[in-house]
Structure 1
Amino acid sequence: MTETETIAYDVVVLGAGPVGENVADRTRAAGLSTAVVESELVGGECSYWACIPSKALLRPAIARADARRVPGLRHSVQGPLDAAAVLAHRNYETSDWKDAGGVAWLESIGADLYRGHGRLTGPRTVTVTGPDGELTVLTARHAVAVATGTTAALPDLPGLADVKPWISRDATSAQSVPGRLIVVGGGVVAAEMATAWQALGSQVTLLVRGKGLLPRMEPFAGELIAEALTEAGADVRTGTSLTSVTRENGTVVAVTGTGDRIEADEILFATGRVPHTDDIGLETVGLEPGSWLSVDDSLRVPGTDWLYAVGDVNHRALLTHQGKYQARIAGAAIAARAAGVPILESDPWGAHAATADHVAVPQVVFTDPEATAVGLSLAEAEQSGRRIKAVDVDLGSVAGAELYGDGNRGRARMIVDLDREVVVGVTLVGPGVGELIHSATVAIAGEVPISRLWHAVPSFPTISEIWLRLLEAYRDN
């Protein structure tokens, strides 16, 4: 018979990924006792199956592509990547899927870790089933924060489970390179994994149901990436859906809506995410299992005074950095309420409001070329009813990009709110632009007037000079 222990804390956090870790860090810093519950690895999806391993796979691919465009260097890097070395380094970056470092960090901030499956079993109560079946009941005096993230969504295709398809976790953790890989999807995961595995030696076929890649970004971003993938040898097919997938004698056979038959060694479905809330006891507190959790700007679930949902699980912005930002806001709000400090609902940029989720969410797609955006796209700006002006500039107009050897492969767009004379959206595609997007994020979040941006002088010759070109285009058009 399993013995049950009940322990009280100020805060209980469900999920020890980067988001849960940040909630715990902020509540512990405020002097609140905090328990963290994790059923897998401390560090979560980002550390072991998403951000870190995917970028470890992509960095050699992008570095080689950049080098091949530089005169005097391109002939020295014509051979294949050392796939074994790339995979070994990816393993190193994930600590070989061991979480001793994450556990030590939690201990260093004074949070208590409970290994096992945590479920809400009533208001302010989480029951943890440990690895050996032991039960521990954790009660929260002030808050329970759900930071359980998302899982991969798979389409409803008959017999798909028998095919044993890859999801994003398989694509970032595979220990060998498949000779042929089908990638289904057109979003960030599909574009990045197609880039990585094509560079590592797979023959990639990318099947995109929509008109192009990266549908949430400006159309030119997806067009430039699709062009580069095609040049690298990938087969990119847009407007393509699947009617069936089978595995015959170890070979994946995919049939498209037009009757084309595609064979491969593996097939990756990168077709979206669903909330990891199906078995965390939401029904015990009046919420729908498997649902996204709606929150206010302090990340608290409406109708409760104790339940918070932070990170991907609330569907505001499925990005690690944005989830960590939300965690900082949630931690501050939990601490303030625990101390009886009033939260000013009228202060949108205060310490207790995740306002950036609405106006300045940056994202980088680590493909060749890189694509990054923050704020509104042109379509979103037009739909918002604002009076806006959009200006486009080729990245090749700045010397910093030209020095990469292929400065013409890139484009920038800036969108200005004409009534307020502030930037509300920026998209950049080209070499090295991932390190440039924070300046755009600052401009948008800070509502820096266009007149003041003229005095922010970009260094020469850097790609950041694109800001000057955009301002000039705005002035002259």
Structure 2
Amino acid sequence: MQEAATSEATREYDVIVVGAGPVGENVAERTRAAGLRTVIVERELLGGECSFWACEPSKALLRPVVARADALRIPGLRAAAAGPLDVDAVLAHRDRMSSHWKDDSQVDWLDSVSVDLVRGHGRLDGPRRVAVRTAQGDTVHLTARHAVVLSTGTSAATPPIPGLDSVRPWTSREATTSDRAPGRLAVIGGGVVAVEMATAWQALGSQVTMLVLEDGLLQRMEPFAGEMVADGLREAGVDIRFATSVKHLTREGDTDGAVHITLANGEELEADEILLATGRAPRTSDVGLETVGLTPGDWLGVDDTFRVTAVPDGWLYAVGDVNRRALLTHQGKYQARIAGAVIGARAAGEPVDDSPWGAHAATADTAAVPQVVFTVPEAAAVGLTVQEAERTGRRVDVVDYDLARLAGAHQYGEGYRGRARMLVDPERGTVVGVTFVGPGVGELLHSATIAVAGEVPLERLWHAVPAFPTISEVWLRLLETHRG
């Protein structure tokens, strides 16, 4: 890898990638593997949000919590696991998993795949041009022969709450990197970040209050998923307030005073920290969109090969969260693999197969997006929900099963609670959606993803024999229930 010199000179590449999170890294690796000279631009740490402020640190915080919850159900382990978590050890583990917020290993990896690096803030500067302002104040000008790829991701969305700016709220970044557990943590929101961080910090010693505008958690999943996760949070001691909005916020003093929260109903609450978990916004406000006729701050609409549809000549691509198709790291990396292959094919003058499930089309973004929520219990889903099927006019057969009836569930200890739902297309006889809730269900999800993405006929699934006694036996029980 060559780290570009900081100068006013223009350097030409085949492909310029702006944003070096996992998505940008994967695009760059794929275009370089296709023989295209590639440079990647990053203003923060290589590895991006996922490695340093989201996936890695959050799961490092959550894994001890989930493991202890599992141990508390197991005879012989219950007494040993009954004490509080070692908070210092958990935070130290989180720091190691986040490489102590140093990206040396990521730089070494980039070097190993022969992708150049420019550190600094990259902005479009007209068609096929990117200007990078470095930390030293210099400007590096880059031009692309074939493609510019924006993979700048998202940041926390901030709701219009009076007084919000004055209280210095946590976002997901502060929630995953804090070096202490606040005594009282208020969480605004009811989505994935909200429930995962409530799970983690309650277990690490905070008293957590969730302020949820909607009437349930995890609104994009089946309703029973949010209900079961809410039950788990309440059992852990979290105070959940549904149909609740915040009217005003103030903080005592300049730095570490209590946050005073005024709710719309007039109730007053206090917290030591307040976490905003109210969605994500695209990082496109300062990437030069105006220089190519786009509106700064907008999500970037793309086709199934990730070309930005509003830009002529097909040179600009947007991959990962910034295109709003599926705000998940693994889905962004899937998009990156496809986009890299597309750019390579087009540069070589080869045909592009953008038919459904073709090599150059991201069909899974709409048909088979998997997600695991790492709470107690876990929630995992892929494909359609009942609500989505009804909204789009698709007819489905709904098959439910109580996971606690499985012999494999008993291996997870006493008091196992879980539920599975399978949605079947009655005309084609294929699985189009699956939701699992319960301990250990995250490891069931890939089998469900294969069934949905592969459009595996139910008749063939009968021949996929689950091992006994595991919770994967749920597949057999779902098929039996569907057959009646």
Decide: shared fold, TM above 0.5: yes
Q: Give the root-mean-square deviation of aligned CA atoms.
A: 1.0
**Is contact 1:459–1:465 with CA below 8 Å preserved after alignment?**
yes
Please say if 1:31 is aligned against 2:35: yes
1:87 is aligned to 91
Partner of 1:464: 472
For residues 123-138 of structure 1, the aligned pairs below 5 Å read: 123-138=127-142
Instruction: Output aligned runs, 1:418-437, within 5 Å.
Output: 418-437=426-445
CA contact (8 A) 2:156 2:171 kept: yes
Native 8 Å contact 2:175 2:275 kept in 1? yes
Tell me if the contact between 2:416 and 2:439 (Cα under 8 Å) persists in the aligned partners.
Answer: no
The question of whether the paired residues in 2 share the 8 Å contact of 1:401 and 1:407 is answered with no
Among candidates 313, 333, 352, match of residue 322 of structure 2 = 313
Q: Which runs of 5+ in 1 are unaligned?
A: none
Matches of 1:109 and 1:362 in 2, distance apart?
Answer: 29
Residue 222 of structure 2 corresponds to: 218
Distance 2:474 2:415 in 1: 12
Structure 1 segment 155-170 matched on structure 2, within 5 A = 155-170=159-174
Q: Which of 280, 292, 296 is 1:273 aligned to?
A: 280
SS of 2:314's equivalent? coil
Q: Secondary structure at the match of 1:436?
A: helix
Which residue of 1 is the match for residue 3 of structure 2? none
1:7, 1:137 within 8 Å by CA — same for their partners in 2?
yes
- The correspondence of residues 439-454 of structure 1 with structure 2, limited to 5 A, is 439-454=447-462
Secondary structure in 1 aligned to 2:125?
A: strand
SS in 2 for 1:158: coil
Residue of structure 2 equivalent to 1:390: 398
Percent of aligned positions that are identical: 67
| CA deviation map 1:258-315 (0-9, x unaligned) | 2221111100010000000000000100111100001111111123411000000000
Following TM superposition, by how much is the alpha carbon of 1:386 offset from its aligned partner in structure 2, in angstroms? 2.1
Moved more, 99-108 or 396-405: 396-405
Distance 1:238 1:148 in 2: 33
- The CA distance in 2 between the partners of 1:471 and 1:203, in whole Å, is 43
2:341 equivalent in structure 1? 332
The CA distance in 2 between the partners of 1:235 and 1:388, in whole Å, is: 36
Mean Cα deviation higher: 68-77 or 418-427: 68-77
Secondary structure of the corresponding residue to residue 136 of structure 1: strand
Which digits, 9 at most, give the CA deviation of each residue in 1:99-139, with x for residues without a partner? Answer: 00111111110000100000000000000001111111110
Separation in 2, partners of 1:386, 1:228:
32
Aligned partners of 1:344 and 1:281: how far apart in 2? 31
Partner-residue secondary structure (3-state), 1:331:
helix
Q: Which residue of 2 aligns with 1:75?
A: 79
Q: 1:361 to 1:407 in 2, by over 3 A?
A: farther
Counterpart amino acid of 2:481? A
Q: Is the 8 A contact 1:242 1:256 kept in 2?
A: yes
For residues 3-28 of structure 1, the C-alpha deviation after alignment (integer angstroms, 9 at most, x for no partner) is 51100000000000000000001001
Q: CA deviation at 1:407?
A: 5.5
CA distance in 2 between partners of 1:344 and 1:32 (Å): 20
Cα distance in 1 for partners of 2:456, 2:65 equals 36
Which residue does the alignment assign to 1:227? 231
Could you tell which deviates more after superposition, 461-470 or 347-356? 347-356
Contact 1:394 1:408 in 2 (8 A): no
Does the CA contact (< 8 Å) of 1:150 and 1:313 recur in 2? yes
Are 2:211 and 1:203 equivalent residues in the alignment? no
Deviations for 1:174-210, whole angstroms, at most 9, x for unmatched residues?
A: 0011111001100000000000000000000011110
Confirm whether residue 182 of structure 1 aligns to residue 186 of structure 2: yes
CA distance in 1, matches of 2:266, 2:79: 41
Separation in 1 of the partners of 2:176 and 2:313?
Answer: 38
SS in 1 for 2:73: coil
CA contact (8 A) 1:11 1:142 kept: yes
Trace 1:289-308 onto structure 2 (pairs within 5 A): 289-302=296-309, 303-308=312-317
Distance 1:63 1:223 in 2: 21
Correspondence 1:338-377 to 2 at 5 A: 338-345=347-354, 347-377=355-385
Give the 3-state SS of the residue equivalent to 2:76 in structure 1. coil
TM-score scaled by length of structure 2: 0.97
Which residue of 258, 268, 282 corresponds with 1:251? 258
Q: Which residue is equivalent to 1:12?
A: 16
CA distance in 2 between counterparts of 1:32 and 1:422 reads 40
Are the equivalent residues in 2 in contact too, given 1:395–1:407 (CA < 8 A)? no
Distance 1:192 1:440 in 2: 23
Cα deviations by residue, 1:376-408 (Å, 9 ceiling, x for unpaired): 001111222222100110111111112212464
1:99 aligns with 2:103: yes
2:295 is aligned, of 288, 291, 309, to 288
User: Mapping of 1:400-411 within 5 angstroms?
Assistant: 400-406=408-414, 408-411=416-419
